[in-house]
Structure 1
Amino acid sequence: MKTLFSFLFTDAYRLLSSANGRKFLWLLLTAGGTRRNQAATLTFNGLRFRTPDSLMFFWQVKEIFVDESYAFPTSSSTPVIIDCGSNIGTSVIYFSRHYPKAKIVAYEADAETAKTLRSNLVTNGVTNVDVVEKAVWTDDSGVDFGSAGDDVSSVFVATNVHRVPSVRLRDVLLQELRIDMLKIDIEGAEVPVLKDCRDALAHVQNLFVEYHAYIGQPQTLPELLQILTESGFRYYVDTAQHRIKPLINRQYRGNTVMDLQLTIFAYRT
């Protein structure tokens, strides 16, 4: 019976089998009725977060705290972590909790989101995160940025476009002797940024990239993977966009902006 249940209900079985998974299910039961795109304050495992959208928060909790997608091995007691696209702070709070002596730099381009990020850090007593309110880009001259007020704000979003300060990630990477974890979730800017950084990745030990392909634009996944290969990484690719009949259903649940989103985990052996 246990084998049958785990086969038929794999995700539910996995969630019920872990303490954080059960806490996540409780969060869904108690707060799952919160309206979309409406600000809310939600708690998980003793942590308290202000979020502009509950569904976005639920996905972040599952990915970060339940699945622990950002966990990485390190022999350093003071690892260096660079988080590009920190959103409301779930990722950097996870890093701070699991690597309490780490040097953590969080980049967030959206002003309102950065404000929420800082508030969540204060609320949860996190003091080892340096928040930089700039877009990660290929230069430090500023970039046009579309603010959607959620986790899809991007240089490729055409809504509420305005000029924001930028930082050249290549320069940031070269300032460190070793980077234990580099997280890049910058909604479509990842390929041009990594192209610019291709000669500055040698001392990055672990790398997470969320890859986005926008409808009507070329898919540049082969170029991204080539950069990782040339930089000496091995990688694992995963997706949350499991589609039925993908040759017919060419958009994920009616998404009219992106037709592909992948998570890429790169590491040195």
Structure 2
Amino acid sequence: MWFFKFLFTETARLLRSVEGRRLLWLALQYGDRPRNQSVDVSVGSYRFRVPDALSFVWQYREIFVDEFYKFTATNTNPVIFDCGTNVGTSIAYFREHYPTARIVAFEADEHISATLQNNLRQNQISGVEVITKAVWTNDKGIWFGSDQADSASIFSQTDRKLVPSVRLRDYLLRETRIDMLKMDIEGAETAVLTDCQDALAHVQNLFVEFHAYLDHPQTLAEVMKVLENSGFRYYINTSQYRPAPLVNHRYKGNDSMDLQLNIFAYRN
């Protein structure tokens, strides 16, 4: 009996919620689509143009089903900084759950940013400041290379190009309070957080997707030290599972990363 309970627990959990049922439908509809091909996706009341269907399915799960970006808003008009916005799934969630929030969205890739802005118009999501620049440690630009379907990285050597940047620290210091800082910037997080460590005192909630790239140092300890020194409590999880991890060193067979973690930081 325990085996069947274990086997069906996740499916049963998804079937109990509207968003979970939508995720199962998305997986059936789009899970087997060819990778890296743009497609129009409909889910609930939303319509998105996405560059890769499978990546969107995983985004939807993390954002709408598992609610990675949910936080308690103690202000009438919370301030949300979304660094690495991609095509706007996170913005749709933020606007739905925090309708009076002031949202600033940073997206480094100009083509993805154009898709993002079209998706916002398509879904009648307004009041979002979109900045088509990478968050970084200065405003002199940063070299990015293309990588997998839903990401570019400062470590990738494929189709590298110089993209405009902003110093995130400057933006943080202009605010008196930031209710949510979301950071999914594909390997730049350690450098950016280190540069921002004296500007995090008024950040209430922080999500960081941490990446460790092959042939580069793993810098998780640096990130955690910044969070600890800034007075955050934190929780870490990972969606990957590796049998025999001491001999299986790759992240889901990934050719560029060997670790990806989700870090949730908050203040009591």
TM-score by length of 1: 0.96
| Contact 2:52–2:149 (Cα < 8 Å) also in 1 | yes
* 2:60 alignment partner, SS class: helix
Which amino acid in 1 is paired with 2:109? D
Equivalent-residue separation in structure 2 for 1:95 and 1:82 (angstroms):
10
Please report how far the alpha carbon of residue 12 of structure 1 lies from its aligned counterpart in structure 2 after TM superposition.
1.3
Q: Which residue type is aligned with residue 217 of structure 1?
A: H
Counterparts of 2:137 and 2:26 in 1: how far apart (Å)? 39
Deviating above 6 A after TM superposition, structure 1's stretches of 4 or more consecutive aligned residues are: none
Cα distance in structure 1, aligned partners of 2:11 and 2:261 = 22
Q: Identify the residue that residue 213 of structure 1 maps to in structure 2.
A: 212
Deviation at 1:119, TM superposition (A): 0.7
Q: 1:191 is matched by which residue type in structure 2? A: T
Q: In the alignment, which residue of structure 2 is the partner of 1:40?
A: 39
CA distance in 2, matches of 1:52, 1:147: 13
Could you list the runs of 5+ residues in structure 2 that have no partner in the other structure?
A: none
Q: Secondary structure, in 3 states, of the residue corresponding to 1:262?
A: strand
Q: Which residue of 2 aligns with 1:261?
A: 260
Give the whole-Å Cα distance in 1 for the aligned partners of 2:97 and 2:192.
28
> What's the counterpart of residue 236 of structure 1?
235
Deviation (angstroms), 1:253: 2.5
**Which secondary structure state, in structure 2, belongs to the residue aligned with residue 9 of structure 1?**
helix
Residues 189-204 of structure 1 aligned to structure 2 (within 5 Å): 189-204=188-203
- The CA deviation string for residues 50-77 of structure 1, in whole angstroms up to 9 with x for no partner, is 0010010000000001111100001112
| Residue 16 of structure 2: aligned partner | 17
What amino acid is aligned across from residue 31 of structure 1 in structure 2?
Answer: Y
CA offsets 1:214-243 (integer angstroms, 9 cap, x no match): 011111101110110000000000001111
Distance in 2 of aligned mates of 1:28 and 1:223: 36
| 2:197–2:226 Cα contact (<8 Å) kept | yes
Aligned-CA RMSD value: 1.3
Aligned-residue offset at 1:5: 4.2
Query: Residue 85 of structure 2 aligns to a residue in which SS?
Result: coil
Secondary structure of residue in 2 paired with 1:160: strand
Evaluate the alpha carbon distance shift between residue 32 and residue 65 of structure 1 in structure 2; reply closer, same or farther with a 3 A threshold: same
* Deviation of the 1:8 alpha carbon: 2.4
Give 1:164 deviation, angstroms. 1.1
Query: What residue is the counterpart of 1:57 in the other structure?
Result: 56
Distance 2:219 2:15 in 1: 38
Matches within 5 A, 1:1-269: 5-148=4-147, 150-269=149-268
Q: Is the 8 A contact 1:6 1:13 kept in 2?
A: no
- Structure 1 residue 157: deviation in Å? 1.6
Partners in 2 of 1:132 and 1:154 — Cα distance?
18
State whether residues 104 and 129 of structure 1, in contact with CA within 8 Å, keep that contact through their aligned partners in structure 2: yes
SS in 2 for 1:250: coil
Equivalent residues of 1:64, 1:91 under 8 A apart: yes
Give the aligned length: 268
The one-letter code sitting in structure 2 at the alignment partner of 1:45 is: G
Cα offset, 1:98, TM superposition: 0.8
Deviations 1:103-134 (A, max 9, x none): 00000000111011001100000002111000
Unaligned 5+ runs, structure 1: none
TM-score (norm 2): 0.97
CA drift of 1:93 comes to 1.2
- Secondary structure of the equivalent of 2:105? strand
Shift in Å, 1:32: 2.8
In the alignment, the residues of structure 2 paired with residue 194 and residue 6 of structure 1 have an alpha-carbon distance, to the nearest angstrom, of 42
Give yes or no for contact 2:251–2:260 (8 Å, CA) kept in 1: no
